[in-house]
């Protein structure tokens, strides 16, 4: 990504995703650092590009994860209108905790289950 023209960089990403999708014959999982996009192109341009990607991902049946730093409250409010699901991860006493903001869920401790020889995330409800 060159960092000068958000739409040109987005076009390049679409081309790469199309090439990958053709090889895998399945939907794409997109993971985007929304904070980085906003820092690079500005809030308004980032919202437009991320909104376009969210719309494209919905229509293709893929999954898009937008990662956001807690300090970007302005971006969180805007992306909340775009996202179907909003999850929040916080850390309390060294334990990562997951909760759903939209839709609202209970709290879950995130643990690693290594019983099968490899780490798999395990969600343990906090009552």
CA distance to 17, 44, 106, per residue, from 100 (Å): 29, 26, 7
57 Cβ partners below 8 Å, 6+ apart? 28, 30, 63, 64
* pLDDT of amino acid 2: 67
Instruction: Read off the pLDDT of residues 24-39 as tens digits, 9 standing for 90 and up.
Output: 677 778 899 999 999 9
Beta-sheet strands, E only, within the chain: 29-33, 63-67, 86-92, 95-102, 104-113, 120-125
Q: What residues form DSSP beta bridges with 32? A: 66
Mapping DSSP onto H, E and C, the string for 64-86 reads: EEEECCCCCHHHHHHHHHHCCCE
Two structure tokens written together for 25: 């014959």
pTM over 0.85: no
* pLDDT of amino acid 49: 94
Report whether pLDDT(98) > 90.
Answer: yes
55 Cβ partners below 8 Å, 6+ apart? none
């Amino acid at each position: 990504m060159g960092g000068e023209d958000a739409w040109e960089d987005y076009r390049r990403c679409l081309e790469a995703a199309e090439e990958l999708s053709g090889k895998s014959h399945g939907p794409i999982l997109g993971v985007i650092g929304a904070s980085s996009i906003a820092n690079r192109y500005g809030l308004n341009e980032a919202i437009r590009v991320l909104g376009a990607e969210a719309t494209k991902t919905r229509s293709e049946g893929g999954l898009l994860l937008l990662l956001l730093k807690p300090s970007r409250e302005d971006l969180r409010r805007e992306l909340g209108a775009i996202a179907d699901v909003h999850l929040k991860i916080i850390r309390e006493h060294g334990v990562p905790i997951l909760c759903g903001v939209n839709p609202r869920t209970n709290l879950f401790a995130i643990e690693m289950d290594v019983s099968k020889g490899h780490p798999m995330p395990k969600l343990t409800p906090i009552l």
